[in-house]
């Protein structure tokens, strides 16, 4: 059956209009290549990424020695991998924890590594787990996320960033009309300065739940950690506004909401929870303050030591983790 003549004419006219628009944009020199620079993160900025990290199509950015770290783990089944953000990448607690846990079997080296990366959210952690961690079949994986997830998304959340940087039809991205549409979408979502979290609460819950199930699928033990905070209402660091959060008065309740999600996921999935947030919150104010850097997020050396000690206690209180670390290592 032949299509109606009017429909053929309409499609032909549409094709001519699109072709003319495409040629017009090219003639005008318009181009918009979607990159990480197109959708600003609170951290790291372009200069920091270029100086310290390498671009990655799935994880946005990775440490320059990231491939080497993974290569050193290849061929073995790691006993312990630590995933997270800058608190993990820059912190000294991973080294302290690995050292202390390794003393359980001093004659057999503990195969362990910290693979956290500054600026990462649980969205990047999930992509890392799927692509790089699961093939290693780790025996234990510690998940410490929750800061970057609730920072401002600057107009688009992390899932949207991934969709932009890895389009389903890469050939379409060469079209100037598609680039114009994408630029308009980003401008519309960012208009007025209001922006959702990089990972909205329910996505954060979903990411953590999926990560725990994936770790179990390779016979590993997932460990969820609540991110402790040194922030107090009325004493929030001014530099966090407005780049990271629009209303400083919402910082403490917002972070607590994400901490509660970690607890809920641990209970629902039946996995080990190391509730560092509760342990730090229970300290006297002056003692708690000295365990955090000025930003109230990262730990001082004393804070790292306290975190490592409490994590070791958490491991020792879990029958699954005690058995895992006491088992013969490959």
What is the arithmetic mean of pLDDT over 207-223?
A: 97
CA distance 70 to 253: 37
Q: What pLDDT, on a 0 to 100 scale, did the predictor assign at position 57?
A: 83
CA distance 100 to 138: 19
Backbone phi, psi, residue 245, to 5°: -150, 140
State pLDDT tens for residues 232-265: 999 999 989 887 888 999 999 999 999 999 999 9
Q: Is the dihedral of CA 200, 205, 208, 209 positive or negative?
A: negative
- Threshold 0.85, pTM exceeds: no
| Of 186 and 295, more confident | 295
Whether 84 shows a pLDDT value over 60: the answer reads yes
Whether 36 shows a pLDDT value over 60: the answer reads no
Every domain of the chain and the residues it spans: 36-173+179-326
State pLDDT tens for residues 274-305: 999 999 999 999 999 999 999 999 999 999 99
Rounded to the nearest integer, the mean pLDDT of the chain is 86
What is the arithmetic mean of pLDDT over 313-318?
A: 94
CA distance 301 to 297: 13
Domain 36-173+179-326 superfamily per CATH: SGNH hydrolase (3.40.50.1110)
Whether 318 shows a pLDDT value over 60: the answer reads yes
SS3 32: coil
| 63: Cα separation from own chain's centroid | 14
| Of 211 and 180, more confident | 211
Backbone phi, psi, residue 189, to 5°: -70, -30
């Amino acid at each position: 059956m032949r299509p109606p003549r009017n429909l053929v004419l309409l499609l032909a006219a549409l094709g001519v209009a699109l072709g003319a628009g495409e040629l017009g944009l090219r003639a005008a020199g318009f181009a918009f290549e979607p990159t990480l620079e197109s959708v600003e993160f609170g951290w790291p900025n372009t200069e920091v990424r270029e100086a310290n990290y390498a671009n990655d199509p799935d994880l946005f950015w990775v440490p320059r020695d990231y491939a080497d770290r993974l290569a050193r783990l290849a061929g073995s089944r790691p006993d312990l991998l630590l995933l997270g953000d800058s608190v993990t990448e820059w912190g000294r607690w991973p080294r302290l924890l690995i050292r202390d846990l390794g003393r359980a079997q001093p004659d057999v080296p503990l195969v362990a590594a910290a693979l956290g990366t500054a600026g990462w959210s649980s969205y990047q952690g999930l992509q890392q787990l799927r692509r790089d961690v699961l093939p290693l079949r780790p025996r234990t994986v510690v998940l410490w996320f929750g800061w970057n997830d609730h920072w401002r998304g600057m107009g688009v959340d992390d899932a949207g960033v991934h969709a932009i940087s890895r389009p389903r039809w890469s050939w379409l991205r060469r079209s100037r009309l598609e680039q114009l549409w994408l630029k308009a979408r980003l401008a519309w979502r960012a208009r007025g300065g209001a922006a959702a979290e990089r990972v909205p609460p329910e996505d954060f819950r979903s990411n953590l739940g999926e990560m725990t199930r994936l770790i179990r699928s390779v016979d590993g033990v997932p460990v969820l950690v609540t991110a402790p905070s040194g922030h107090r209402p009325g004493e929030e660091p001014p530099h966090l506004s407005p780049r990271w959060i629009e209303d400083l008065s919402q910082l403490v309740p917002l972070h607590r909401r994400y901490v509660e999600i970690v607890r809920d996921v641990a209970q629902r999935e039946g996995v080990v929870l190391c509730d560092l947030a509760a342990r730090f919150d229970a300290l006297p104010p002056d003692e708690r303050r000295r365990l955090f850097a000025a930003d109230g997020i990262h730990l001082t050396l004393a804070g790292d030591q306290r975190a490592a000690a409490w994590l070791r206690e958490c491991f020792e209180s879990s029958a699954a983790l005690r058995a895992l670390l006491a088992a013969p290592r490959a």
